[in-house]
Structure 1
Amino acid sequence: MSTAPSTSTTHVVIGGGVVGAATAWALTARGERVLLIEQHARGHDRGSSHGATRIFRQGYADPEYVALTTRALALWDALERESGETLLDRTGAVDHGRPEVVDAIAAALADGGIPHERLSPADAAARWPGIAFEGHVLAHATAGRIRSAVAIETFLRLAERTGLAELRFGTRVTQVEDHDGELTLTLDSDEQGSHAPRTVRTQSVVAAAGSWAPTLVGGVFAGRGARLPAVRVTQEQPAHFPSHLPDEAWPSFVHWADGDDVYGLLTPGEGVKVGFHGTGPVVDPDDRDFAPRPDEAARLQAYVARYVPGVDASRPTFISCLYDTTPDEDFVIDRRGPLTVATGFSGHGFKFAPLLGELVADLATGGAPHPRFALGSR
């Protein structure tokens, strides 16, 4: 990874969620200047990154993703040292359900040198009485939960502390125009009486706008001979359920069920968050109602009543968030000319945040894309 500024260009990062925030920190840590533009308020709840907790787990059946989690874990540790913040609570994680999936995860963890443990459903229930287990059960202790809201603010604060970052909230990028080696951004600011310029011209733009990125910059990529994959934007509706167990009783968990896969973790002070993975309706990110679908709400409560006995399934507090999902659930991180794009995190990107910031910063400063996430690999 480069350590010295490649040009005097100010990198414009579009999006103040976790990927944009991590990229701003990674760039400023290298001595690069950054203008971060976010259409909503700081810490907003309109996208994919809000909320107090996210799962960190190394349990992938794909060895390449397991290796990426190991790199990300080292960077989370480094970020904690740099910031003085606790960002990752090591609660451990447990996978259970379909044997072919759980066994593949165990094999990938073994290949990656990740300590793990197999248990019977009865032994797992004795250890974690809040969960009803089925099929094969696998636990690994390096996992846990990320303090996600704290993490985003930490990235932003560290970027600001360098003196190289300007963070502009309540400002929407409405158009991106390609001028060979430069891009012109048209801005629409919510700030009353703002004297900020309505256009910005730069040699480096990072579109880390999640569900908004394909619409905003897909045409620019197409004009440079690269087509973004179809990104399916959905409104997901997990819920917090009150628990009658102590906080330490809850690992992060994934149930590879017959049907839709389910994830869960404790959010201290709010309850146990449980949700189906990627089953929500397709939406326009600018035109959504944030309301849970009654049929899906009832289905989630029925699931929780059966498989999460440590909570009160009758008292959900529903949450609304966006998924931006690619057909293969691989991320999109690539560059064409002055434009770098980061999108398609498919409901499993947050755990990689400090690594994603580094990968995107590599691209924006002239490095090569990660082969797995490059457009040419699709």
Structure 2
Amino acid sequence: MVVVGGGAMGSAAAWQLARRGVSVVLLERFAARHTNGASHGASRIFRLSYAEPGYIALAREAERLWRELENDTGAHLLTVTGGADHGDHPFLTELADALAAAQVRHHWLSPREAARRWPGLRFETPVLFHPDSGRLHADRSVAALQDAARALGATVRHSTPVTAIEVLGDDRVRVHTDTEALRARRVVAAVGAWTAGLLGAQVPLPPLRVTQEQPAHFAARIPADGWPSFGHRFAAGSAAAAQFYGGIYGLATPGEGVKVGFHGVGPVVDPDRRDFMPEPAQLAALRNYVRRWLPGADPDVFAPISCTYTTTPDTDFVLDRHGPLVVATGFSGHGFKFTPAVGRILAGLAVDGTRPDQRFASTRWANA
């Protein structure tokens, strides 16, 4: 089988296919550790805190598989720090109810108690704390997935752009690169922002919105490694929601500072024509947020980051198969934590056609 796309999801698919004893070739258009897509950097949030039971279950599976990957490779990938959500949005109560129903550990803290635990963060409303959340090291995770796949016999090729995928039959496909054509029974395409361009009309896809997101690392004024990952949600229509684009996420990133960003509100871009530069108004808003809500970080000492989101209309993923083509896209800025579980789903689709929850079907918009 051929996997196209060597970011997190494609690398996880290669690992899971190789675990099943499948012969796998992974093709990635860019060099290793590139910064063109959505899988690079030093930190991503891991959490079980979802309002949907399906995502909680998928995160639990991913947590187990992250630990298996660590055992297989010796890499340290997942650090448990706890997670803290606060703000005046009523969604927090819905979130707490979902965690209770799924028996996910959590409890409420008063603003004073939370500030005493984490003096670098400011709180004005009760804080929903979930102790099993934490952070993943993105670059190390992708490298570990590829190392684990190689150890099981997979071939990994970087700097190998795929120019076309040609369907020859239900069990035959030809993958074209700049220098060769590879035949396979199945292709798993996990190419993020390049999905529509590569697959074209071969696979029914939703409208995919590709944005350039621009968080930043802010210098810590006090030691921040023990901070929880955090989310701050503002009530819709409030002045704060308008000023801070609805809410923010953040987490300490050892060696980099405190990562702070808005979720899915960056400018729409062509992934091949990005400028990698922060949008001035959003950067100014990020700095104002740090100045107002993060006394433990310096709003005047920062390093902008650039990555892409590929977002579906409902923010659920696309994990589906059409003939010999398996497609993974639309991770909408919240998919990284699920990476190894998504790899398992993609391997199942490719090998025996096992389909996940209908919420991930690529045709769900057409059906609606």
| Secondary structure at the counterpart of residue 375 of structure 1 | coil
Q: In structure 1, what is the equivalent of residue 189 of structure 2?
A: 207
Q: Aligned with 2:266: secondary structure?
A: coil
Residues 241-320 of structure 1 correspond to what in structure 2 (within 5 A)?
241-258=218-235, 259=241, 260-320=246-306
Q: Does residue 340 of structure 1 match 2:317?
A: no
Match of 2:361 in 1: 374
Q: Which residue of 2 aligns with 1:5?
A: none
Q: Which moves more between the two structures, 167-176 or 18-27?
A: 167-176
| Residues 299, 247 of structure 1: alpha-carbon distance in 2 compared, 3 angstrom cutoff | closer
Give the match for residue 238 of structure 1: 215
Instruction: Kindly tell me the number of residue pairs found equivalent between the two proteins.
Output: 354
Distance 2:206 2:65 in 1: 29
Of 152, 163, 183, the match for 1:174: 163
Deviation at 1:78, TM superposition (A): 1.8
Letter in 2 for 1:35: V
Out of 101, 104, 126, the position equivalent to 2:91 is 101
Is the 8 Å Cα contact of residues 225 and 254 (structure 2) preserved in structure 1? no
Assess if the C-alpha contact under 8 Å between 1:207 and 1:341 holds in 2. Answer: yes
Instruction: Select the residue among 282, 302, 307 that pairs with 1:321.
Output: 307
> Given that residues 311 and 333 in structure 2 are in contact (C-alpha distance below 8 angstroms), is that contact kept between their aligned partners in structure 1?
yes
**1:13–1:208: 8 Å Cα contact kept in structure 2?**
yes
SS of corresponding position for 1:315: strand
Q: What residue identity is the alignment partner of 2:104?
A: I
Q: CA shift at 1:376, angstroms?
A: 4.2
Name the aligned partner's letter for residue 277 of structure 1: H
Superposed counterparts of 1:87-236, under 5 Å: 87-163=77-153, 165-181=154-170, 182-188=172-178, 197-221=179-203, 227-236=204-213
Contact 1:176 1:185 in 2 (8 A): yes
1: CA distance, partners of 2:360 / 2:282:
32
- Output the amino acid matched with 2:262: F
**Deviation, structure 1 residue 136:** 3.3
Compare 132-141 and 353-362 and name the one that shifted more: 132-141
- Counterpart CA distance in 2 for 1:201 and 1:125 is 58
Deviation at residue 162 of structure 1 after TM alignment = 1.4
**TM superposition shift of 1:99:** 4.2
Larger displacement relative to structure 2 (327-336 or 295-304): 295-304
Whether the 8 Å CA contact 1:99–1:135 is kept in 2: the answer is: no
Task: For 2:308, give the aligned amino acid.
Answer: L
CA distance in 2, matches of 1:26, 1:249: 32
The whole-number CA distance in structure 2 between the counterparts of 1:377 and 1:64 is 17
In the alignment, the residues of structure 1 paired with residue 134 and residue 43 of structure 2 have an alpha-carbon distance, to the nearest angstrom, of: 10
- Separation in structure 2 between the aligned mates of residue 120 and residue 99 of structure 1, nearest angstrom: 16
8 Å Cα contact 1:40-1:170 kept in structure 2: yes
1:363 matched residue in structure 2: 349
Q: Deviations over 1:36-81 (max 9, x none)?
A: 1101001111000000111001111222211211111111122222
Structure 1 runs not aligned, ≥5 long: 1-10, 189-196, 222-226
Partner of 2:62: 72
State the alpha-carbon separation in 2 of the partners of residues 261 and 368 from structure 1. 37
Aligned-pair identity in percent equals: 49
1:129 partner SS:
coil
Quote the residue 1:6 is aligned against. none
Question: What does residue 49 of structure 1 align with?
Answer: 39
TM-score (norm 2): 0.93
In the alignment, the residues of structure 2 paired with residue 26 and residue 14 of structure 1 have an alpha-carbon distance, to the nearest angstrom, of 14
TM superposition shift of 1:86 = 1.8
CA contact under 8 A between 1:302 and 1:313: conserved in structure 2?
yes
CA contact (8 A) 1:333 1:341 kept: yes
* Aligned partner letter, 1:320: S
Tell me the secondary structure at the aligned position of residue 211 of structure 2: strand
